[in-house]
Amino acid sequence: MFAYPPVNYIEPVFRPPSEANSLILQVTNGCSWNNCTFCEMYTAPQKKFRPKSQSEIEEEIKRCSAALGNVRRIFLADGDAMALSFKRLKEILLAIRKYLPTVSRVSSYCLPRNLKNKSVEELAELHDLGLNLLYVGAESGNDFVLQAVEKGESFRTTADALIKIKQSGIKSSVMIINGLGGVTHSEQHAIDSARLANEVQPDYLATLVLYFQHTDQRLLESYPEFKMSSQRQLIEEMRIFISHLELKKTIFRSDHASNYLVLKGVLNKDKDKLLQMIEGALNQDSSIFLRSESLRGL
Ligand SMILES: C[S@@+](CC[C@H](N)C(=O)[O-])C[C@H]1O[C@@H](n2cnc3c(N)ncnc32)[C@H](O)[C@@H]1O
Ligand code: SF4
């Protein structure tokens, strides 16, 4: 028995599906931007953005070392740990190296704006210290949609950040939200999101489906013409998105719990297979599994 839990989490804590086996180290609380009108993740009063102090983080790393031993992967939470300065991130990675030497992969969410004040050389140094993967919530490649949902980013700022990540040697995972353009901007959202992926050639690409646990009120205030797509319209949007992708070697997943239709493959190698599955889902082929509404979540 330990006197303290190894990490003092401020709930709720979110992580990408692929970090299910990682130690979640909460180096910041909340999201430094927190303005995207579709995002309910860090809106609770206790989730106001705050970086944790280096001493707090080191204490938690030491406790994890004593309690857990062989940790292989770490995910730096919450919403955008990359909001921390280069110096702070370096200190955290050095502490992980010192107290948890078995860690082989550190990853984090990353907003494009968090990289503005970090050079490619600094990112390469963080990569050398173990930062291997950044999850970037591009959400859309369409500037109208990005502005309507108050993402605070554009096609260009997102593409530039992803190119910087690639130049540093860090891998990138891009998230796109199926349905974010609503009914009116579905097609352009799909085409421009594919164009973004084609320009940056990410290592990983994932689609989530727009989902509200509580309310879509903030989204409707910032984007009054927004009308939620039906399940069929969402799948048709995926058909447009995937058919416009021109990727050399990107691992694609739509297996997040928000998705109705689970698609997995390497693109473009598996493009035809994925498009056939989409056709099957649209033709109500009973061999294509669609997640029920009650099993969806974030
Ligand atoms: C915890 S957020 C952190 C990502 C990081 N802050 C960023 O914006 O790059 C993870 C991702 O969840 C997705 N997300 C947030 N709200 C969502 C919603 N209402 N429906 C579907 N996906 C959502 C977005 O793709 C977002 O980038
Ligand atoms: S999507 Fe990312 S940047 Fe936007 S509010 Fe949510 S956590 Fe913050």
Q: What is the CATH number of the domain that holds 267?
A: 3.80.30.20
Question: Structural domain of residue 37, as residue ranges?
Answer: 17-290
Domain count, the chain: 1
Beta strands in the chain (DSSP E): 23-26, 28-29, 50-51, 73-77, 105-109, 131-139, 171-178, 204-209, 250-253, 264-267
Q: Is 75 in the pocket of ligand 1 (CB under 6 A)?
A: no
Residue 158 is assigned to a structural domain of this protein: yes
The atom of ligand 1 lying closest to the CA of 39 is: 16
Dist CA 209 CA 181 (whole Å): 11
5 falls within a domain: no
User: Which residue stretches of the chain have pLDDT < 70?
Assistant: 1-5, 294-298
pLDDT of residue 184: 97
Tell me the C-alpha distance between 50 and 84, whole Å.
Answer: 10
Q: What is the pLDDT of residue 170?
A: 98
Non-local (6+) Cβ contacts of 220 within 8 A are 226
Instruction: Please indicate, yes or no, if residue 296 is contained in any of the structural domains.
Output: no
User: Is there a domain that residue 33 lies in?
Assistant: yes
Decide if 1 is inside a domain: no
pLDDT score for 260: 83
What pLDDT sits at residue 297?
66
Residue 38 CA to ligand 1 center (angstroms) comes to 8
Instruction: Supply the pLDDT for residue 131.
Output: 98
Pocket residues: Cβ below 6 A from ligand 2: 31, 33-34, 36, 39, 41-42, 79, 111, 137
Q: Model-level pTM greater than 0.85?
A: yes
Q: What is the pLDDT of residue 7?
A: 82
Position 87 in a domain: yes
Residue 284's pLDDT is 84
